[in-house]
Amino acid sequence: MSDIQNQLEQLRRQIDEHNYRYYVEDAPSIPDAEYDRLLRELQALEEAHPDLVTPESPTQRVGARPASAFGEVAHEVPMLSLGNAMTPDEFQAFAERVEKGLGRAAAWCCEPKLDGLAVSLLYENGVLVRGATRGDGSTGEDITQNVRTVRAIPLKLRGDFPARLEVRGEVFMSKSGFEAMNQKALETGDKLFANPRNAAAGSLRQLDSRITAKRPLAFYAYGLGVVEGAALPASQFGRLQWLKTLGLPVSQEVQQRTSLAEVEAYHAQLLAKRNDLDFDIDGAVIKVDAVADQDELGFVSRAPRWAIAWKYPAQEELTVLEDVEFQVGRTGAITPVAKLKPVFVGGVTVSNATLHNADEIARLGVKIGDTVIIRRAGDVIPQVVSVVEERRPLDARDIQFPARCPVCGAHVERETLKTHLKTRVIEREGTAYRCSGRLTCSAQLKQALIHFASRKALDIEGLGDVVVEKLVDAGLVASPVDIFTLSREAILGLEGFAELSTDKLRAAILRSKATPFARVLYGLGIPEVGEETAKLVAAKMGNVDNIRLAPLELLTSIPDVGREVAFHISEFFVEANNWRVVDGLRSQGLNFGEPDAKVALAPLSFADFINKLDIVGVGPGAAEKAAARFESLEQLIKTAEDEQDLFNALGGTKAAAKGLFSFFADAANRDHALEIERRLLALEVHWTSERELVEEGGLPLSGQTFVITGTLSVLSRDEAKAHLEALGAKVAGSVSKNTDVLVAGEKAGSKLAKAESLGVAVWDDNALMAFLREQGVTDAQ
Ligand code: D41
C-alpha cells in the first residue's frame, strides 16, 4: 500500500471512530474543531487523489448511524447542510459569489448559529404530530416522544396556522440549565456532561422520554420544510416573524441587514455578546433574505448557495498537559494549575488552565503527558474538560499533591468541611488542600494585602500586586496594619520608587483611612463575605464590636447571611490574630463603625430563639408552643429539669418534651443558650416577652391596659400604640371593665360611649401627647 493510501485509511478509521462516539454514544472524545480538521484533511487528500475515494469514506455521507431503537423518518423536503466560513476572507468569497450570481447586492437575514441539534417538527391542523432529527438530511430518527417534552416546543399552534407545517430549528440546552443540571449530577454522583451541546444531544436521544422531560431543553426555529395551505412571507426574516405568530420561538438575535458592511458588524457584535447569551453559539448563520433570490441561487450538492455558517473561534481545543504547578491563594488553598502546550482557543492563546483541586484531578483521571480538551468560554478561566485516553503516552505521570507549601514550606493540610447545624458543626474531609502557614506564608499574606488594598475595599491607589510583592519581600509589611506605619524612607528605598511616587502612595494610604466601615469589613477578607454581604452586615450591626459580640443566631437574622457565612464571621473574630489586626487598624484610625451604634435588627422572638437552638423534636411549631408557655429561658431551663413537668407544661407533646429535656440536661447546652441570651441582651435585641418580665413594675405603664380610638392629630394610632407598649402598657382593641385608659381622638364613636358608661378614664389627644413628652418620647413634640 502506498503512503497516501495508508494515510487515507488511518484518517477514515479515526473519523469513523469519532463518528460512532459522537452520534451513537453521545460521548465524543475530541472537540468538534479537531473533528472538523480531520474531515477537512481527508477531504483535501481525497481531492488531490480522486481515484482513491471509496464509497465508504466518511466524506461520502453526512451524519452517521442512527441509534437502532428509534423509528426512521424520511424528510419530505431534504434538510440541507450549511457551508462554513472560518475567516473574514472566506465569508467575503461567499458574499461575492452570491452577489455575482444575482447580479446585484442582496439583503441579508442574520441569525446566531445555535450549538444544538437540528430537528424537524411537523404540525398537522395545528397539532404537533411528529418530531425528527436531521439525521443525514434525507432520513432522520423519530423523536416525537422526546420533543413533546421540550416546553419551548408548542404542542398546538396558535393564530392562523396552515393545514400542514414543518418547522425546522435547533434544540439546545441553555447555559444556566446546563450548569444547574451538572451541579445536581455532581451532588447525586451522576454522569457529568462536558458541555451544553452534548447534554442536549444526550437528552434528545434518550429512549426513555421521561428522562428527556427532566432536562432543561429549549428550542429556536430557523426555517421551514413542507408547508401546505398558507401564503408565506417573501423573506426569511418575514417567515421567522410569521412563525412567532404561530407560537414558535425565534431567537431575539435574528436581524435583517441591508449591506455587507452591516453583516460584518452583526457578526462582530454577536461575537462580543457571545458570553452574555444564555446559550452556546458557534457562529452566525448569514442567509440571503429574499426567498426569490434564494431560489435563483439554488444549491450545490446538499448545501444552499444562499446561506453560510460564519464561525467563531472554537471554544474547545486539544493540547498536551506538560506539567502541573501549585499556587497558593488568599485563603491558603493550594490550587493545581495545568501547564499546557500553548493552544489557540476561544480567540486567545492559552497555556494555563485551572485544575481546581485534587477531586477534580481524580474525576478527570488526568496525568502529566496526557492530551486534554481545553475549553475557554469568554473571560472564564480556561478549563480542562476531559482527557483523550487513547492518546496517553507510555511515560505519563501521576499528579502528586505537594506535602509542603511550595511558597513557605509549611505543611499542607486537607481542608475540613463544616456542615452548620444550628448548634453543632459536623466536620468532614473537604476537597481542598491548604497551606497551614496563614499570614506567615508570604503567598497568603500577599493575596490578603492585595485584597485589602483593592478598589472595592480600601482602594489604595498604587498598592497593587507588584508593590505588595516588593513590600512583603523586603520584610516591610507583615500585616495590613503595617501599611499605615510605613515610613517615607522605607518606601523610597524600594526599587521603582522616587520622591513623587512615594508621596503619592503615602497620600493614598492616608486617604484610605476614611474608607466607610462596610468596605473595611469587606477588605478583611472574611471567607464568604463579599462586598454586598459586608454592606448588609455593617448596616445591620453598626460596628465591629457588635459583630464580635453577636451570636450566630443573630447574624443569621441579617438578610443574605446563612449559617455558613455567619459561621465564617464568628470564627474570624474569635481568632486572636485577626482581632489583633482589627485592633491595630482601629488604632490607626480606620473606620470600624460608630462606637455606640445599635444593632438595627428586630429583636429575636423567644420562639425564634428556641427554634434556632436546633433541638431534636422541636420544630417551629413546638418552639412557638414552648415560647407561649414559658416566660423566660430561665423558666424553661428550670422546668426542663423534670421531663414530666415539661411534658405537662407543653400540653402533651412528647417529642418536644423529650428533645428539650435531653438538650437542657447537658450543661454545655444550658451555658450555650444562656450565653446567647446574655449577648442578645447586651446588644438589645432580646425577645420582648423576656424583656417585659425583666422590666415588670419598672415601666411606667406596666400592668395597664389602654385602648386607642378615633383620629389622633400628631401620631398615627400605630405609633401611639408602639409608644405606649414601649412604656409597658398593653394596648387592647376593645373597651371593657379591665380597660384603664381610653385614648380618644377626633371622631371617636361607640368606644368613647362605652368607656364613659363603664367609668373608664378618657384621654384626649393633648393629654396623650403631654404624657408621652413627660416620659421623654422625643417624636411627641
Ligand atoms: O442555528 C442554527 N444552528 C442554524 C442551523 C440556523 N440558524 N440556520 C440554519 N439554516 C439552515 C438552512 C439554511 C440550510 C435552512 C441551520 C441549518 N440549516 C442547519 N443546521 C444543521 C444543519 C443545517
Same-domain status, 174 and 292: yes
Q: Is the pLDDT of residue 217 over 80?
A: yes
On whether residue 351 sits in a domain, the answer given is no
- Residue with grid cell 442574520, as numbered in its chain: 110
DSSP string, 137-153: SSEEEB-HHHHTT-TTS
On whether residue 403 sits in a domain, the answer given is no
Same-domain status, 258 and 114: yes
Closest residue by Cα to atom 11, ligand 1, is 82
Report which ligand 1 atom has the smallest distance to the Cα of 80: 14
- With a Cβ cut-off of 6 Å, ligand 1 is lined by 80-82, 111, 113-114, 118, 134, 170, 222-223, 285, 287, 304, 307
Instruction: Please check whether residue 248 is in contact with residue 154, taking contact to mean a CB–CB distance below 8 angstroms.
Output: yes
DSSP H helical ranges for 279-393: 291-297, 358-364
Query: What pLDDT is attached to residue 1?
Result: 66
**Distance in angstroms (rounded) separating the CA atoms of residues 613 and 618:** 9
**Distance in angstroms (rounded) separating the CA atoms of residues 637 and 659:** 12
Q: How many C-beta atoms surround the C-beta of residue 101 within 10 A?
A: 16
Q: Show which of 696, 729, 746 is a domain's final residue.
A: 696
Same-domain status, 124 and 194: yes
For the domain that residue 79 is a member of, what is the CATH number? 3.30.470.30
Same-domain status, 533 and 469: no
Instruction: Please check whether residue 460 is in contact with residue 384, taking contact to mean a CB–CB distance below 8 angstroms.
Output: no
563: Cα separation from own chain's centroid:
18
**Distance in angstroms (rounded) separating the CA atoms of residues 29 and 769:** 81
Helix, strand or coil, per DSSP, at residue 659: helix
Q: Is the dihedral of CA 599, 604, 610, 616 positive or negative?
A: negative
Query: Which residue of 62, 82, 237, 274 sits with most ligand 1 atoms within 8 Å of its CB, as the best mutation to test the pocket?
Result: 82
Calculate mean pLDDT across residues 273-277: 90
Cα(779) to ligand 1 centroid in Å equals: 70
Report which ligand 1 atom has the smallest distance to the Cα of 168: 15
Q: Is the pLDDT of residue 68 over 60?
A: no
Q: Using alpha carbons, list the distances in angstroms from residue 91 to 87, 110, 223, 285, 400.
A: 6, 13, 21, 11, 48
Q: Is the pLDDT of residue 301 over 70?
A: yes
* Of 668 and 688, the one with more pLDDT: 668
Q: How many C-beta atoms surround the C-beta of residue 176 within 10 A?
A: 12
Q: Using alpha carbons, list the distances in angstroms from residue 540 to 534, 535, 545, 556.
A: 10, 9, 12, 11
Confidence at 563, pLDDT banded by 50, 70, 90: confident
Cα(665) to ligand 1 centroid in Å equals: 71
Beta-bridge partner residues of 54 = none
For the domain that residue 554 is a member of, what is the CATH number? 1.10.150.20
Same-domain status, 534 and 490: no
Cα(57) to ligand 1 centroid in Å equals: 24
Report which ligand 1 atom has the smallest distance to the Cα of 137: 22
For the domain that residue 760 is a member of, what is the CATH number? 3.40.50.10190
On whether residue 504 sits in a domain, the answer given is yes
Q: Of 111-115, 209-213, 278-282, 643-647, which range is least confident? A: 209-213
Q: Of 493-497, 520-524, 645-649, 740-744, which range is least confident? A: 645-649
CB neighbour class for 637 (10 Å; exposed up to 12, middle 13-18, buried from 19)? middle
Report which ligand 1 atom has the smallest distance to the Cα of 306: 13
On whether residue 686 sits in a domain, the answer given is yes
Q: What is the mean pLDDT of the chain?
A: 89
Report which ligand 1 atom has the smallest distance to the Cα of 307: 13
Calculate mean pLDDT across residues 652-659: 84
Same-domain status, 613 and 723: no
Closest residue by Cα to atom 23, ligand 1, is 81
Report which ligand 1 atom has the smallest distance to the Cα of 220: 1
Q: Show which of 514, 549, 577 is a domain's final residue.
A: 514
Q: Is the dihedral of CA 45, 47, 48, 54 positive or negative?
A: positive
Query: What pLDDT is attached to residue 717?
Result: 87
On whether residue 230 sits in a domain, the answer given is yes
Cα(111) to ligand 1 centroid in Å equals: 9
Query: What pLDDT is attached to residue 695?
Result: 45
Report which ligand 1 atom has the smallest distance to the Cα of 254: 7
Query: What pLDDT is attached to residue 64?
Result: 34
Q: What are phi and psi of 157, to 5 degrees?
A: -85, 160
Q: Is the pLDDT of residue 60 over 70?
A: no
Q: Which three cell numbers stand for residue 66?
A: 442512527
Beta-bridge partner residues of 618 = none
Cα(90) to ligand 1 centroid in Å equals: 18
Cα(82) to ligand 1 centroid in Å equals: 6
Cα(422) to ligand 1 centroid in Å equals: 55
Same-domain status, 248 and 123: yes
Query: What pLDDT is attached to residue 122?
Result: 97
Binning the chain into helix, strand and coil, the percentages to the nearest 5 are 45, 20, 35
Domain housing 529: 517-587
Query: What pLDDT is attached to residue 422?
Result: 52
On whether residue 297 sits in a domain, the answer given is yes
Q: Is the pLDDT of residue 62 over 60?
A: no
Whether this model's pTM surpasses 0.85: no
For the domain that residue 619 is a member of, what is the CATH number? 1.10.150
Closest residue by Cα to atom 9, ligand 1, is 222
Same-domain status, 154 and 84: yes
Rg (CA), the chain: 36
Cα(336) to ligand 1 centroid in Å equals: 41
Q: Which of 100, 113, 422, 737 is catalytic?
A: 113
Q: What is the dihedral of CA 734, 735, 738, 742, to 10 degrees?
A: 110
**Distance in angstroms (rounded) separating the CA atoms of residues 84 and 429:** 50
Q: Return the H-helix or E-strand segment holding 433.
A: strand 425-435
Closest residue by Cα to atom 2, ligand 1, is 113
For the domain that residue 16 is a member of, what is the CATH number? 1.10.287.610
Q: In 229-266, which ranges are E strands?
A: 255-257
Cα(21) to ligand 1 centroid in Å equals: 23
Closest residue by Cα to atom 10, ligand 1, is 222
Helix, strand or coil, per DSSP, at residue 538: helix
Cα(721) to ligand 1 centroid in Å equals: 69
Calculate mean pLDDT across residues 167-192: 88
Specify which of 172-186, 405-419, 501-515 reaches the highest per-range mean pLDDT.
Answer: 501-515
pLDDT digits (tens, 9 = 90+) for 305-353: 999 999 998 889 999 999 999 999 878 889 999 999 999 998 889 999 9
Q: Of 322-331, 377-386, 732-741, which range is least confident? A: 377-386
The answer for 99, left when phi > 0, alpha when psi is -120 to 50, beta otherwise, is alpha
Query: What pLDDT is attached to residue 23?
Result: 53
Q: What are phi and psi of 251, to 5 degrees?
A: -60, 140
Q: Show which of 514, 549, 572 is a domain's final residue.
A: 514
Single out the residue of 349, 106, 115, 351 nearest to residue 237, CA to CA. 106
Cα(345) to ligand 1 centroid in Å equals: 24
Closest residue by Cα to atom 5, ligand 1, is 113
Cα(206) to ligand 1 centroid in Å equals: 23
Report which ligand 1 atom has the smallest distance to the Cα of 82: 23
- How many structural domains comprise the chain? 6
The answer for 356, left when phi > 0, alpha when psi is -120 to 50, beta otherwise, is left
On whether residue 341 sits in a domain, the answer given is no
Whether 113 is a known active-site residue: answer yes
Instruction: Please check whether residue 85 is in contact with residue 309, taking contact to mean a CB–CB distance below 8 angstroms.
Output: yes
Query: What pLDDT is attached to residue 471?
Result: 97
Same-domain status, 35 and 175: no
Same-domain status, 7 and 55: yes
- Residue with grid cell 381622638, as numbered in its chain: 745
Query: What pLDDT is attached to residue 37?
Result: 87
On whether residue 356 sits in a domain, the answer given is no
Report which ligand 1 atom has the smallest distance to the Cα of 111: 7
Calculate mean pLDDT across residues 364-385: 89
pLDDT digits (tens, 9 = 90+) for 477-509: 999 999 999 999 999 999 999 999 999 999 999
Same-domain status, 538 and 646: no
Helix, strand or coil, per DSSP, at residue 430: strand
Query: Which residue of 236, 285, 288 sits with most ligand 1 atoms within 8 Å of its CB, as the best mutation to test the pocket?
Result: 285
Closest residue by Cα to atom 22, ligand 1, is 81
DSSP H helical ranges for 512-642: 517-523, 531-541, 544-549, 552-555, 563-574, 576-587, 606-612, 620-629, 633-639
pLDDT digits (tens, 9 = 90+) for 97-109: 999 999 999 999 9
Closest residue by Cα to atom 21, ligand 1, is 118
Amino acid at the residue 321:
L
Closest residue by Cα to atom 4, ligand 1, is 113
Amino acid at the residue 558:
I
Query: Which residue of 119, 134, 170 sits with most ligand 1 atoms within 8 Å of its CB, as the best mutation to test the pocket?
Result: 170
Same-domain status, 230 and 144: yes
